[in-house]
Structure 1
């Protein structure tokens, strides 16, 4: 990642943006303790991100540990998008107001899944 283009900003909330050479993956550093990093990945430079995470120093490492499936096409079944979490023992709660929550076994992380929105470009899973 050291060879990826870096852009530094003097104003605004984001102080550093690092983009992959193909501009499909972007990482922003906000320099504070709340949502210090924003990471997104898209199929191509101008598409809506298929995967987004906002993390800080309290984020458990297992949240950002890798899989090469983060850019797969969106599935109409919400379970497909969170299959790695469910396979790792995360548990779900009954849906409320169109959102279903799943929680990690240690209770330190969670995800909310929009099980109602039919827009294919909508952000359906929020960690």
Structure 2
């Protein structure tokens, strides 16, 4: 029996493996590293949120009402009026922790002021993929594709080279083999490897993530482990429900984000949430 069949939908669980946990349906945690650095925040009437670096070299979109299945789109520019220098996209069910790992590394690189968020040769790709090796992922190479796969085969990271076009890219995928792709993420050739390392480290982390019973993807039920997070023993059912409503509210569009005072002068950002 799945948690949502025997518990209230708001009750929270520790879920593992995280690559099957799906999205949290809110961009708050993944956008917070950028908010903390004073990046400009705007949203539209649909609830899409757009965050721009102060120097206009990076744009981040959280797009719950976008035109395709990419919930996140991130692009970087050498010239604000030119085409993207690199781009990264994350599908709708990409675990938010993976996106957060990437944006945390992005915010840190931009804050250094040395252009390392655009050009970073301090790390090789094999070093960015090292967290997968350390986590015991299988490694194989075939026809220009270097692929890392979890022992259960439910997640993979692939680096594809096309020498004839002098191009390559990196993709991440999650979901059982009989699924085309439960979620995916893509990074173009020039994406700094330190940013990719932030995502691979978060992806390979074996620690469980927190999801509400109603937010755990039904199609993943047979493949994951969910452990109920018990409330304090002295807490009454009524206070439990009140606490859950305050800490895990129903999804809303463009609801103001409640954050601790930041050292930035940026306006209080909205709380982007994906419609269920």
CA distance in 1, matches of 2:39, 2:99: 23
Could you say what secondary structure the match of 2:39 adopts?
Answer: coil
Structure 1 ranges of 4+ moved more than 6 A: none
Please identify the structure whose Cα radius of gyration is greater. 2
Structure with the largest fraction of helix? 2
Following the alignment from structure 1 to structure 2, what is the Cα–Cα distance between the partners of residues 44 and 88? 38
1:36 maps to 71
- Alignment of 1:99 with 2:145, yes or no, is yes
Deviation string for 1:45-100 (max 9, x for gaps)? Answer: 55611x6241434426246425568842398x75244234333433223324x222
Alignment of 1:1-127 (within 5 A): 1-2=34-35, 3-9=38-44, 15-32=48-65, 34-41=69-76, 45=80, 48-49=85-86, 52-59=88-95, 61-62=97-98, 64-65=100-101, 66-67=104-105, 71=117, 72-73=120-121, 78-96=125-143, 98-104=144-150, 107-117=153-163, 119=166, 122-127=167-172
Superposition deviation, residue 113 in structure 1: 0.6
What is the RMSD of the two structures over their aligned residues, measured on CA atoms?
Answer: 4.0
Unaligned runs of 5+ in 1: none
Q: Which runs of 5+ in 2 are unaligned?
A: 1-33, 110-115, 173-276
